[in-house]
Structure 1
Amino acid sequence: MNAHRHAAEGVDATPRLLGPAEIRDLAHLLDVTPTKKLGQNFVHDANTVRRIVQTAGVQPGETVLEIGPGLGSLTLGLLEAGASVVAVEIDGRLAEQLPHTVRVMQPGRTLSVVHADALRVTELPEDAVRLVANLPYNVSVPVLLHLLEHFPSLRSGIVMVQAEVGHRLAAEPGSKVYGAPSVKAAWYGDWRTVGQVSRLVFWPVPNVDSVLVGFERGEEPGTEDERRATFALVDAAFQQRRKMLRQSLAGALGGSSAAAATALERAGIDPQSRGEQLRVQDFLAVVRASNAAVEA
């Protein structure tokens, strides 16, 4: 990549973003072939990057968390907007290269790179207030839930995910795509889809559509113990989503459908309803009713 040769000669490049040529040069330099296993699809369109950063409302001087920065397309867009970036990258070659790319393309910007699996990160070099990321599609929901659980400083964000996943995250009760991810995400705040992203801005071109999903963090409705119990109920309800709750939750609420029906009625929930009809607050109400019955 020519920019990297300039960097070696001590010549600063004008601050800019990566385009298709730079993306391919970097991939060749690092001998990186995008893999489905890591969910790698690199964005090469500067206009798309700037749209994501603008939609996310990134402010100069704030710290933004990015997951899976890859070759640095979105990283450079965030830095261009004046943010400090903490980037978590699982691929060692990419993690090592990113600071060099930033020094060349956007000299003087503030970047911290954490070489780690985002699903296992529990500490960061500084608190980030916003999450902006092109999430690996195969782990997008687990990564989001992990980050929200462990990093309460994150108040809002925009993530690019597979369209099917994005619509699920933002779904309301009663929707055909409403499921466990919808309920669990709602524990942490409000979610909405905020735009579509063309397949053609990626290299390689993925075989799925992408959407941008935004969230605003709210006050969590219960304690950490209640969250764990609520999520366990949610998993049970949606593992057998065609069954009535008195059946799907039998194992979690006393071991029989009769016991489950009693627990549901205590919480004001119709035992014949199904998981996709309940909000996160309804599942929490069942947990609290069950706990109260045990303590009585």
Structure 2
Amino acid sequence: MRNDETSAGPRLLGPADVRRLAAELGLRPTKTLGQNFVIDPNTVRRIVRVAGVGADDVVVEVGPGLGSLTLALLPVVARVVAVEVDPVLAQRLPSTVSEYAPGVADRLEVVPGDALRVTTLPGPAPTALVANLPYNVSVPVLLHLLEAFPSLSRALVMVQKEVADRLAAPPGSRTYGVPSVKAAWYATVTPAGAVGRTVFWPAPNVDSGLVLLSASGGRDPALRDAVFTVVDAAFAQRRKTLRAALSGWAGSAAAAETALRAAGVDPRARGEQLTVDDFVRIAAARPSINSFGAS
């Protein structure tokens, strides 16, 4: 009997399984692709549990690798669409699923390609994102998918602990920044636990963290670019007041002050003190600059 083969649940990948599959593929995990494979069945069970996905969910998984998390998701959800940039891993994943979980193999769809470039997915619209995101592109991938697929109602991602802290940071905290605000545009973001290094092969040099995102809804997608432009400008010069940091965005420091006051924001404040709603009001106030005749 292989690891975790029971009548009550799927067979999941343990350390020996992961190493066997890697050896069969002649695979050497690369830092370039951010490849750190989960070798602990309890960790993938925990991810699925915390994600709160169920029988009606269509889940996007980014970077499925050898299939550790995929195998834990398939018996629980309606469908898993796995996006894998490594062609060798993408080709092998269906065979692994057929070997370890033949009863639910038909629920898997593998999409070979770069998640940063995916704008459409086969089948029904995805409802959840559950993934062990590659460390080197975790924030860009997360934000891209949240934008590309507004049908996502929630996400549970495993990322580098430092990134997890930034994503879930509240305004005014030391780690609050651009990723915090942009993630909050799409969802309510909460930390969902720490993950140690020993659950991976190869073990990374940093700890990991889980972040849970629940879609907030109600925001106008047409405002997104304008809001994100303000956010980028505000944090590009963190030490400066918003009056100074947004002078380029507004055309002058005086025009920035006019927009900030129109939005109900103190021009002497700094970006790290503002909520995403503050940034929305600032972006919306910009058209009023010309009517005020600020210079």
Give the TM-score band, short-chain normalised: over 0.9
Deviation of 1:62 after TM superposition, in Å, equals 2.2
1:228 equivalenced with 2:245 (yes/no): no
Write the letter of the residue equivalent to 1:180: V
1:283 equivalenced with 2:263 (yes/no): no
Matched residue, 2:13: 18
Write the letter of the residue equivalent to 2:260: L
Structure 2 residue aligned with 1:249, among 233, 246, 249?
Answer: 246
Matched residue, 1:152: 150
Deviation of 1:294 after TM superposition, in Å, equals 3.9
Matched residue, 1:211: 209
1:200 equivalenced with 2:195 (yes/no): no
* SS state at 1:66 partner: strand
Matched residue, 1:95: 90
Structure 2 residue aligned with 1:44, among 21, 39, 46?
Answer: 39
Deviation of 1:222 after TM superposition, in Å, equals 2.8
Deviation of 1:63 after TM superposition, in Å, equals 1.3
1:239 equivalenced with 2:203 (yes/no): no
Matches within 5 A, 1:132-147: 132-147=130-145
Write the letter of the residue equivalent to 1:157: A
2:119 & 2:208 partners in 1: Cα distance? 28
Name the TM-score, length of structure 2 as normaliser. Answer: 0.92
* SS state at 2:81 partner: strand
Write the letter of the residue equivalent to 1:76: L
1:53 equivalenced with 2:51 (yes/no): no
Task: State whether residues 58 and 83 of structure 1, in contact with CA within 8 Å, keep that contact through their aligned partners in structure 2.
Answer: no
1:62 equivalenced with 2:60 (yes/no): no
Matched residue, 1:168: 166
Write the letter of the residue equivalent to 1:56: A
Structure 2 residue aligned with 1:112, among 109, 113, 124?
Answer: 109
Deviation of 1:120 after TM superposition, in Å, equals 0.4
1:177 & 1:70 partners in 2: Cα distance? 30
1:261 equivalenced with 2:257 (yes/no): yes
Deviation of 1:82 after TM superposition, in Å, equals 4.2
1:166 & 1:83 partners in 2: Cα distance? 28
* SS state at 1:33 partner: coil
1:62 & 1:155 partners in 2: Cα distance? 10
Write the letter of the residue equivalent to 2:21: L
Deviation of 1:61 after TM superposition, in Å, equals 4.2
Matched residue, 1:123: 120
Q: Deviations over 1:188-224 (max 9, x none)?
A: 1100011111110000000111011001101143342
Write the letter of the residue equivalent to 1:17: L
1:294 & 1:22 partners in 2: Cα distance? 64
Task: State whether residues 187 and 220 of structure 1, in contact with CA within 8 Å, keep that contact through their aligned partners in structure 2.
Answer: no
Contiguous gaps of at least 5 residues in structure 2: 3-8
Q: Deviations over 1:235-286 (max 9, x none)?
A: 11111111111111111011x2122112211211111100001111111111
Q: Which contiguous aligned blocks of 4+ residues in structure 1 show a shift greater than 4 angstroms?
A: none
Task: State whether residues 258 and 289 of structure 2, in contact with CA within 8 Å, keep that contact through their aligned partners in structure 1.
Answer: no
2:52 & 2:42 partners in 1: Cα distance? 16
Size of the alignment, in residue pairs?
A: 283
1:235 & 1:162 partners in 2: Cα distance? 22
Name the TM-score, length of structure 1 as normaliser. Answer: 0.92
* SS state at 2:24 partner: helix
Write the letter of the residue equivalent to 1:117: D
Task: State whether residues 161 and 210 of structure 1, in contact with CA within 8 Å, keep that contact through their aligned partners in structure 2.
Answer: yes
2:57 & 2:114 partners in 1: Cα distance? 24
Write the letter of the residue equivalent to 1:219: G
Task: State whether residues 233 and 283 of structure 1, in contact with CA within 8 Å, keep that contact through their aligned partners in structure 2.
Answer: yes
Root mean square deviation of aligned Cα = 1.6
Matched residue, 1:292: 288
1:179 & 1:250 partners in 2: Cα distance? 19
* SS state at 1:108 partner: helix
Q: Deviations over 1:23-66 (max 9, x none)?
A: 01111111111111111100010011111111111212421110
Matched residue, 2:267: 271
Matched residue, 2:6: none
Task: State whether residues 245 and 274 of structure 1, in contact with CA within 8 Å, keep that contact through their aligned partners in structure 2.
Answer: yes
Q: Percent identity, please.
A: 59
